[in-house]
């Protein structure tokens, strides 16, 4: 994220225009035609993104894993700029899963330091409010402190950026049920009474994303076609879009194509 880190990242070529991660060229004629084809009412209000492929991107270039994550973080800044241009109100970024926390200490420390730097950069970019989505208690103290500072410092209107760290879909549901049971016990409600009255809303109100609308569109890069525990509950009726590009190579054209694909779908919500 710093000049020292990004200086080692090779230039990505986007439709013949040199673009380092963190630099977005002016829209091409094709990009502008894609933008013009998208009606405001057809755009998603909440996009979830699995930013996948950073390690493979680095390996293909003989770079360290940390450099791959740094390039991915720079691409996130680009992505949030594109969302700002299109007035997308909310984005959730899957950046650190509960499984990621089990990686070897050396790799994990590099990833955490990149996220730490990214959060500082995010505040400086003044994109919009920042929110944490995950079991924050699982995070190292240093990252938790940076995240809390970013949340406090990011008060300007704009794209709401949800940072999914220490996140796992099954863990989220288990935590929601645990909170529900504790609330019932505190209220003197028996297990039998709770079972009789339990509703979907009761779970919704205790998820990490409580108070937020479910994602309309989930995007995963790198060619993998699975959600890997991302928003397991909330994605019941989300539209899914899988892109072959590794995340640091994900371009504005790729994003616009995802939005065009979304706009052409007939959302039935199970009906």
Helix, strand, coil proportions of the chain in percent (round to 5)?
50, 15, 35
Rounded to 5°, the CA angle 40-43-162 comes to 125
216 is catalytic: no
Catalytic residue among 5, 52, 116, 249: 52
Q: What is the rounded distance in angstroms from the CA atom of residue 119 to the CA atom of residue 113?
A: 10
Cα dist from 106 to 28, 58, 64, 125, 213, whole Å? 41, 16, 11, 29, 37
Cα dist from 94 to 15, 28, 98, 210, 235, whole Å? 27, 29, 11, 17, 13
Catalytic residue among 100, 120, 175, 202: 100
Cα dist from 46 to 109, 176, 259, whole Å? 30, 22, 12
Q: What is the DSSP string of 180-202?
A: HHHHHHHTT--HHHHHHH--HHH
36 is catalytic: no
The residues that are catalytic are 52, 100
């Amino acid at each position: 994220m710093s000049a020292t880190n990004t200086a080692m990242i090779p230039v990505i070529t986007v439709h013949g225009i040199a673009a380092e991660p963190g630099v977005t060229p002016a829209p091409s004629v094709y990009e502008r035609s894609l933008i013009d084809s998208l009606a405001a009412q057809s755009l998603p209000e909440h996009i979830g993104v699995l930013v996948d492929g950073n390690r493979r991107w680095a390996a293909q270039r003989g770079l360290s894993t940390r450099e791959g994550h740094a390039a991915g973080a720079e691409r996130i800044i680009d992505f949030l700029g594109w969302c700002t241009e299109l007035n997308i109100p909310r984005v959730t970024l899957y950046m650190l899963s509960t499984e990621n926390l089990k990686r070897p200490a050396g790799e994990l420390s590099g990833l955490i330091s990149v996220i730490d730097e990214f959060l500082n950069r995010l505040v400086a970019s003044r994109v919009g409010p920042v929110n944490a989505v995950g079991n924050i208690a699982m995070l190292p103290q240093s990252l938790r402190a940076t995240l809390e500072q970013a949340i406090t410092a990011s008060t300007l209107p704009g794209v709401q950026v949800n940072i999914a760290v220490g996140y796992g879909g099954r863990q989220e549901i288990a935590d929601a049920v645990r909170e529900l049971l504790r609330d019932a016990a505190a209220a003197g409600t028996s297990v039998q009474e709770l079972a009789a009255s339990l509703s979907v809303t009761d779970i919704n109100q205790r998820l990490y994303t409580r108070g937020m609308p479910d994602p309309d569109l989930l995007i995963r890069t790198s060619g993998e076609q699975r959600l890997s525990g991302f928003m397991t509950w909330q994605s019941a009726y989300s539209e899914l879009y899988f892109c072959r590009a590794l995340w640091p190579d994900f371009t504005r054209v790729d994003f616009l194509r995802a939005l065009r694909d979304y706009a052409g779908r007939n959302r039935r919500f199970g009906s």
